[in-house]
Amino acid sequence: MCSISGWDWNIGKRLVADISSWENKFNWIEELHTSPDGEKIAAIVNIDEAEFSVCVNGETWENIFDKIWLLRFSPDGRLTAIVSEDEEWTLAVDGIPWENKFDYLWNTLFSKSGTDIAAAVQQDTKYSMALNGIPWEKSFDNMTNMILSHDGTKTAASVQVLPHKEGEIFKFQKGIYTVAANGTVWDKNFVNVWNMSFSPDANSLAAEARSSLYDYTIVVNGKPWDQSFSCVWEPLFNPSGTAVTAPVKIGEKWTLAEDGRILWDSKFVQLWHHKYSFDGSKIAAVAAPRFGKWTIAVNDKPWEITFEDFVCDPVFSPDNKKVAAIAKNSDKWVVAIDGEKWGNNFDMVWDPVFSPDSEHVAVKMEKNGKYTIAIDDILWANECDAVWEPIFNQAGDRILIKTIENNKYYRYIIPVNEIV
């Protein structure tokens, strides 16, 4: 994301756009999206039959397209959409289409800074990835699990490298899938290849793989771990080194492995969605210590509190000391931090957001059909028709809140202590 220090952090409420005025201009308006800094609100709009555009703060893009979908702001604030012109698809960035056109395009991906943009493309029944509009030189019969490295320099995907008919079961068992990085395939094939991740420097790539019908492992740069397991989940690189970790299943229980060796002593009914702290010193994961009981485990130690329905991905604080997660218990959503549950519960709640100094936690939430935010378990008094995830300033003493109220889009900058 671009530096938030350059945003307008002056305290106050500002009307950015009157959405009700759009209704007379267009046949219909699709889902609203806001820029990271809150200065823009946009939506796909229908002008006439097979004529679509994007409206930004009340003004439409100059170009008209046959169809538009998947409108998304990049982390650096540019607005992207998948567009169709004359039965060809491409990506438009701030209304300007990529020069290359394709039979189909989907799954827009952004680098961490937003500078680089990738998407999956199909051309002449073959599949590949396009980075900043340039497709791979090599394309494939099948492609899934597309990713873009954080620095935006490399793309990768699971690809089918051998033709396969429905009845060729033995050929399938020998392996017809592998990984392509920037279009270059690994030397070894597998029965299946799934979720993958790049190392922080983008020089290494790890993936889940099935080496036989019954054996699963992690493959790093085309080389499988020496050990196989009953099942594995998505691998991750330690941000402070080269080690690769992944949840693995041994018999009927799950634990965490590093470079093929068992790292955690504890065994769980389920263990997945593991995350590293920013300095790489801690690992947190969604865990089920018993059947139907969910919690978060941090460095092999599960929280004492458990939840009945669901626990979402853990979120580390910037200082690497705290872990937060949202969970569902008896049809109500709650926020938990380091195993302590907030007193409020919600009809719906979104991922926790830590302040840069790690002192505060904010969430977007829904209750009784209205939306607002909560900071440190205290609800903002303003109930809105829509709210986007809040963002703290660098000092952690102000918060950006983007709302829809009575069909008007507002941008608030509020002192944190006004709510807390």
Residue 218 has pLDDT above 80, yes or no: yes
Q: Torsions phi, psi of 82, nearest 5?
A: -85, 125
> Residue 59 contacts by C-beta under 8 Å, 6 or more apart in sequence?
none
Is the residue at 226 inside a domain?
A: no
Residue 1 has pLDDT above 50, yes or no: no
For residue 104, CA distances in Å to 74, 85, 124, 128, 318 come to 21, 11, 10, 11, 39
Partners of residue 39 on adjacent β-strands: none
Please count the structural domains in the chain: 1
Per-residue pLDDT, 168: 86
Is the residue at 374 inside a domain?
A: yes
Per-residue pLDDT, 241: 84
Domain that holds residue 408: 348-420
Per-residue pLDDT, 2: 52
Per-residue pLDDT, 165: 84
- Which element (helix H / strand E) includes 44? strand 41-48
Cα 373 to Cα 348: distance, rounded to the nearest angstrom: 11
pLDDT digits (tens, 9 = 90+) for 300-320: 999 999 999 999 999 999 999
Is the residue at 190 inside a domain?
A: no
Per-residue pLDDT, 6: 92
Is the residue at 298 inside a domain?
A: no
Is the residue at 386 inside a domain?
A: yes
Cα 2 to Cα 395: distance, rounded to the nearest angstrom: 16
Is the residue at 335 inside a domain?
A: no
Cα 380 to Cα 140: distance, rounded to the nearest angstrom: 51
Is the residue at 86 inside a domain?
A: no
pLDDT digits (tens, 9 = 90+) for 85-129: 999 999 999 999 999 999 999 999 999 999 999 999 999 999 999
Is the residue at 398 inside a domain?
A: yes
